[in-house]
Amino acid sequence: MSAQTPRGWWLTERELREWFQQLIADGTKLVGPVDEDDLRIFRQVTSADSISLAAGKTQWSPKEFLLPRSEPLYAYTFEDGAPRLRDPEPLLADQAIVGVRPCDAAGLARLDSVFLSGTRDPHYQRRRDRTTVVSLSCVDATPDCFCTAAGGTPHGEEGADAILIPLAGRWLLRSITPKGAGLLARQRHAWPESTAEHDVAAENQRRRVEESMRRSPVMPEWPALLDRAFDLPVWQHLGERCMSCSICSYVCPSCSCFDMQDEGNPWCGSLCRSWDSCTFGLFTRHASGHNPRPTQVERYRQRVLHKFAYFPMERDGRLMCVGCGRCILLCPAGIDIYEAVRAVVEAQRNEVGASERS
Amino acid sequence: MDSAATPLAQAVDASASAWQPHIIAFVCHWCTYAGADMAGTTRRIYPPNVRILRFPCTGRMSPLFILRAFEQGADGVLVSGCHPGDCHYVQGNYFARRRFAVFRALLEFLGVDPRRLQFSWVSASEGVKWARVVEEVTQGVRDAGPISPWGRVQDHGRLALVRFASPADQAGRRPGEDERAPVLAELRRAASELLSSGRISRLIGYGESSLPGKIVPVFLDNVADASVLAWTDGCSANLAAYLPAAMRSGKVGIIVKSCDSKAVVGLLQENQIRREDVVLIGVPCTGVRVNGRLASKCFNCDGQVSPLCDLSAGGARPAAAAMGVQVAVPPDVRDADVGYIESLPLLDRWNFWQNQFARCLRCYACRAVCPLCYCETCIAEKHRPQWISTSIDGKGNTAWNVVRAFHLAGRCIGCDECSRVCPANIRLDLLNRRLAIEVERRFGYRAGQDAVASPPLASFRQDDSEEFIR
Amino acid sequence: MDNPYRPDLMRIVGVRDETPDVRTLELDFLDREAAREFSTAWGPGQFGHFTVWGAGECVFTIANAPPLRPAGGDVRIECTFRAIGKVTNALRGLASGEIIGFRGPYGNTFPVADWKGRDLMFIGGGIGMAALRSPIQYVLDRRAEFGQIVILNGARTASDLVYREEMWEWQKKDGVRVVRTVDPGGETPEWDGEVGLLPHVFERLALGPDGRAVVVCGPPVMLHFMFLSLEKLGYSPQQVVTTLENKMKCGIGLCGRCNIGPFFVCRDGPVVTWAQMQTMPKDM
């Protein structure tokens, strides 16, 4: 960005809503947090007023707008006995996802590193290319939050194109990427620019929220420690209460595993990709009946190690967990992934200590 | 994925200008199929809207088939078989009659017009009756109009009713609720004793979690752990869900509230656990809270320790009256919500549930926490054929939620755990409750009361009501 | 869209029953451009995803080797599968002339370059032979580049032995020895091969490790005992390779289910050395 680019804009609530409404009017698919049935979830909205930017996080992350719960990967029909295969229809509109908490935006960045490095996934990519993410910094942290322990902050910019920071009844809006700048290009001339004082206030807010979080950081050496802890008995204790649902994976901003099944009949249908989870027994069960991960203990171990060992070891230490805390909050068995990681690290350290002493 | 792609729906589209109902008739081989044949050989004329699928017996009819027909775009379904007493397999149609009665109530509760799902008994000699039944059913479906697409959501949230009308919201604290310390002390003492004596190798109880105030299940394997046990109004989880698996590795002690003990009854009834391998520690309960509100399941529960229990952690069993609980309980508070839904026009009901199911993530937490969902391989995981689409969309979600509810009909003990853990806040409790009402009304049966009773959908009476059958 | 999930169309041009439940299909690409693209990437040991529309996809090793001299753009691939699940049974229901989907090749190849000038031993148990057929064809096509070749093909019973006819062809080649064996009790009165579990038969052959590369494929329990025998006879983990098998959906390292620790079978495998396997967690 050039030196003339303002550090941000200082918007009233009304200016913010008008901006959102203008985006809708311009044909952008606007997605934001909506309150519905005691839940806050991301929905496409037709009115900017239905978006809720109040404190607190949504029940699950907005990842379904980049990796839909289910989507056809191609469709097939038989015409005169010969199969015809068709790619999905092109996307018609750009989408803007607004009100994304920094942890969730970081989660989208994790999905990027799965789907856009190595073999690129065109279905993910085409959505990503047309998506702009406006994140929303946090004014408080709940006891399950641990973004700071997972390498993020309540004002984190990873994965976001622009960020909204609520301050004293108004909004500090910063653009982060050219995409973000593009999203506010039409309106920004009408907005007052923010000042250095706003930045100081934002910084203070960030610090205040960070200080309210109690969990200490995941250390850089933990992935390697965890990787060596595969055979420790501690997993039994951690995993046995797991009930093999997939709440943790489906509300997770970074979980990206999927299933592929034919939907339809021998004449017409599609190959359909749907979310899937390592917590399900069927996930790895071979047709022969053999299952490398037969019980929830092995499956829970996979979940933890994938996020905190395998993924970071491959990707510069970045965790496949962004510390949103939803899995801790919603797990029917009350399993706390952060505590689990700590327990395994400690068990591994004891193990190493014991073998060194002997 | 798209209903427009199915052959049946295409056929429907093709004739959209002059809409004709499409009706699938599942008929039994021995009676109705022959009856339909008779109608043909005697040159009876009846509407051509019915496609006949022949089955060995109505007893073979699974609600899955009916669901699939609707899913594929059928406007109506007719199931027809032998008259009671005439079944080639002696009892098939008696069992079927019970299932149909309950399934029909479920679909109506979901907003499916009852004219779309009909049943009849037509014998091999009743060609005339068959023609009449088809005529009536076709007219009924014609009056009901084209079916609204199965699994398509219209207008998110328009009928998103927020825990409507629940008196649970108004409840204050109950007498006795603050006196949990003696119960907890007793629980810990009992746990230590059972574990140290070797009478059990594991105790399943409640403990504090890493989040303030949140209670989670804990497994205790040795005496020293007893101090982690907790007993608060957050102890909602039905620990019986762990029983079948936990008991594979030795004798287990488990803390049960009044509601939980009903699940244990269900497990005993269905031979999933052996009574001698489990030690039930009853705990007098003054109710649990979910999101700060007294759970609806607690309103008509006296909280008493079940006579089934081996031990009671609470000294003498408290008299219900002393706890300030009205013992003359029914109606169940959930019935107000059920009644509200039933007061809605069918289409609103349908849209309400479709909106609810559209949120479903298919995490299967409802199944995971349910003590009575113990199948080794769930129907949702069987794929030959795949009755329940794995796609997380309207159709697959509708099929899953309907089938889950129906499989628990007459078995659900109403602990509402499915509803509590559902991350999408789907009112599974109301589906379960509606079925429980139907089962009680029709068969005089309440789940979780009697470990030796026959489950209502695995039994029948010759004089079961069949007012809905033509 | 460059859609990695959309398969190429292939016509079934040959159907051969190996055993009562194992079948080999020969497949031709419908599209020559697809065939060309496929053949530029194809090496022995790779696998692919086969689609029967309406049933789904299944994963098999490509059971033949790239031809020595490509015949004018025509590429034929083969797969050998056991009808065991939904898709494999649907595939078995198809006849010659019908069209299926195929995407691939995926995964790595056998280290054929390292084998040059060495003696080779292929040990296959049951349908595990399917994974060995492409390297066997590869080395037989280039017979002069390799030393002595021993092929050990074992099955539970005589009727479960795959590639029965082909083994005679292999046997005819110079310096190739084919040993057939069935588990005790699996022999018929006419059986003229060995009787015994593969590790035992292997030990009886008493072939030393010097200068030899070994490829072993089969069910997990057979691999376990085979490795014990190999160890007993002094083979080093570096000179033994095998192929891994795990449930897969995408084949391209994204769907997240075939991993053994950080090792993704579809992306980093399926061919691994025994030495590599020893470093992997017991998650298979």
CB contact under 8 A, B359 and A330: no
Cβ neighbours of residue B129 under 8 Å, at least 6 residues apart?
A: B35, B120, B122, B123
What is the nearest CA distance from B422 to chain A, expressed in angstroms? Answer: 8
Cβ neighbours of residue A252 under 8 Å, at least 6 residues apart?
A: A61, A107, A321, A324, A326, A327
What pLDDT sits at residue B297? 86
> What tokens does A118 get?
């190595």
What is the nearest CA distance from C103 to chain A, expressed in angstroms? Answer: 13
What pLDDT sits at residue C71? 62
Question: Using a CB-CB distance cutoff of 8 angstroms, which residues of chain C are in contact with residue A122?
Answer: 1-4
Say which of A126, A287, A298 has its CB closest to residue C84: A287
CB contact under 8 A, B161 and A37: yes
Interface with chain A: mutation pick from B203, B209, B355, highest number of A CBs within 10 Å: B209
DSSP H/E element including B105: helix B92-110
Question: Using a CB-CB distance cutoff of 8 angstroms, which residues of chain C are in contact with residue A76?
Answer: 53
Question: Using a CB-CB distance cutoff of 8 angstroms, which residues of chain A are in contact with residue C54?
Answer: 262, 264-267, 269
What is the nearest CA distance from A166 to chain C, expressed in angstroms? Answer: 37
pLDDT digits (tens, 9 = 90+) for A109-118: 999 999 998 8
- What's the rounded Cα separation, in Å, for the pair B218 and B203? 8
What is the nearest CA distance from B7 to chain A, expressed in angstroms? Answer: 9
Cβ neighbours of residue B341 under 8 Å, at least 6 residues apart?
A: B109, B349, B352, B430
What pLDDT sits at residue B315? 53
What is the nearest CA distance from A115 to chain C, expressed in angstroms? Answer: 7
pLDDT digits (tens, 9 = 90+) for C90-145: 999 999 999 999 999 999 999 999 999 999 999 999 999 999 999 999 999 999 99
| Other chains touching A, judged by 3 or more CB pairs under 8 Å | B, C
CB B69 within 8 A of CB B79: no
Q: Count each helix (H run) and each strand (E run) in chain A, helices first.
A: 12, 11
What is the nearest CA distance from A183 to chain B, expressed in angstroms? Answer: 26
pLDDT digits (tens, 9 = 90+) for A40-90: 999 999 999 999 999 999 999 999 999 999 999 999 999 888 899 999 999
| Rounded mean pLDDT, B331-358 | 88
| Rounded mean pLDDT, C220-239 | 95
Sequence-distant contacts of A199-206: CB under 8 A, at least 24 apart: A199/A7, A199/A8, A199/A172, A201/A167, A201/A168, A201/A172, A202/A137, A202/A155, A202/A165, A202/A167, A202/A172, A205/A137, A205/A139, A205/A154, A205/A155, A205/A165, A205/A167, A206/A137, A206/A153, A206/A154, A206/A155
Question: Using a CB-CB distance cutoff of 8 angstroms, which residues of chain A are in contact with residue B369?
Answer: 243, 245, 332
Tell whether the model's pLDDT for residue B316 goes beyond 70: no
Interface with chain B: mutation pick from A47, A57, A69, highest number of B CBs within 10 Å: A69
Contact A285/C at CB under 8 A? yes
Q: Which residue of A has its CA nearest to B381?
A: A282
What pLDDT sits at residue C284? 82
Q: Which residue of A has its CA nearest to B370?
A: A243
Tell whether the model's pLDDT for residue B173 goes beyond 70: no
At residue B279, φ and ψ (nearest 5 deg) are -110, 120
Say which of C84, C249, C253 has its CB closest to residue A260: C249
Three-state DSSP at A287 gives: coil
DSSP H/E element including B252: strand B252-256
| Rounded mean pLDDT, B412-433 | 95
Which amino acid, one-letter code, is at A112? D
> What tokens does B300 get?
């008509």
Report the DSSP pairing between strands B293-294 and B311-312.
Answer: unpaired
Interface with chain B: mutation pick from A238, A243, A329, highest number of B CBs within 10 Å: A243
Question: Using a CB-CB distance cutoff of 8 angstroms, which residues of chain B are in contact with residue A38?
Answer: 162-163, 291, 425
CB contact under 8 A, B390 and A259: yes
CA distances, B389 to each of A281, B378, B432 (Å): 18, 13, 22
Residue at token pair 């038989």:
A78
Q: Which residue of C has its CA nearest to A118?
A: C253
CB B306 within 8 A of CB B196: no
CB count within 10 Å of CB B321 equals 10
Tell whether the model's pLDDT for residue B323 goes beyond 60: no
Q: What is the 3-state secondary structure (H, E, C) of chain C?
A: CCCCCCCEEEEEEEEEECCCCEEEEEEEECCHHHHHHHHHHCCCCCEEEEEECCCEEEEEECCCCCCCCCECCECEEEEEEECCCHHHHHHHCCCCCCEEEEEEEECCCCCHHHHCCCEEEEEEEHHHHHHHHHHHHHHHHCHHHCCCEEEEEEECCHHHCCCHHHHHHHHHCCCEEEEEEECCCCCCCCCCCEECCHHHHHHHHCCCCCCEEEEEECCHHHHHHHHHHHHHCCCCHHHEEEECCCCCCCCCCCCCCCEECCEEHHHHCCEEEHHHHHHCCCCC
CB contact under 8 A, C6 and A264: no
What pLDDT sits at residue B332? 73
Three-state DSSP at A155 gives: coil
What pLDDT sits at residue A357? 81
Three-state DSSP at A297 gives: helix
- What's the rounded Cα separation, in Å, for the pair C252 and C255? 8
CB contact under 8 A, A256 and C247: no
pLDDT digits (tens, 9 = 90+) for A241-290: 999 999 999 999 999 999 999 999 889 999 999 999 999 999 999 988 89
Question: Which ipTM did the prediction report?
Answer: 0.94
| Rounded mean pLDDT, B157-185 | 59
Q: Which residue of A has its CA nearest to B389?
A: A263
Three-state DSSP at B372 gives: coil
| Other chains touching C, judged by 3 or more CB pairs under 8 Å | A
What pLDDT sits at residue B170? 47
What is the nearest CA distance from C149 to chain A, expressed in angstroms? Answer: 31
DSSP one-letter string for B334-350 = HHHHHHHHHHS-HHHHH
Report the DSSP pairing between strands C212-217 and C119-125.
Answer: parallel
Tell whether the model's pLDDT for residue B215 goes beyond 60: yes
| Rounded mean pLDDT, A6-27 | 94
- What's the rounded Cα separation, in Å, for the pair B312 and C258? 49
Report the DSSP pairing between strands B289-290 and C8-17.
Answer: unpaired
> What tokens does B347 get?
């289409």
Q: Label residue B342 by pLDDT band (50, 70, 90).
A: very high
Closest CA to B71 of B22, B134, B35: B22
Say which of A241, A280, A282 has its CB closest to residue B219: A241
Q: Round the CA-based radius of gyration of chain C to a whole number and report it.
A: 18
Cβ neighbours of residue C23 under 8 Å, at least 6 residues apart?
A: C15, C16, C17, C80, C81, C83, C92
Question: Using a CB-CB distance cutoff of 8 angstroms, which residues of chain C are in contact with residue A284?
Answer: 246-247, 257
CB contact under 8 A, B390 and A339: no
Say which of B160, B216, B291 has its CB closest to residue A37: B160
Contact A84/C at CB under 8 A? no
| Rounded mean pLDDT, C221-228 | 94
What pLDDT sits at residue B412? 97
- What's the rounded Cα separation, in Å, for the pair B446 and A156? 54
What is the nearest CA distance from A263 to chain B, expressed in angstroms? Answer: 6
What is the nearest CA distance from B17 to chain A, expressed in angstroms? Answer: 24
CB contact under 8 A, A271 and C99: no
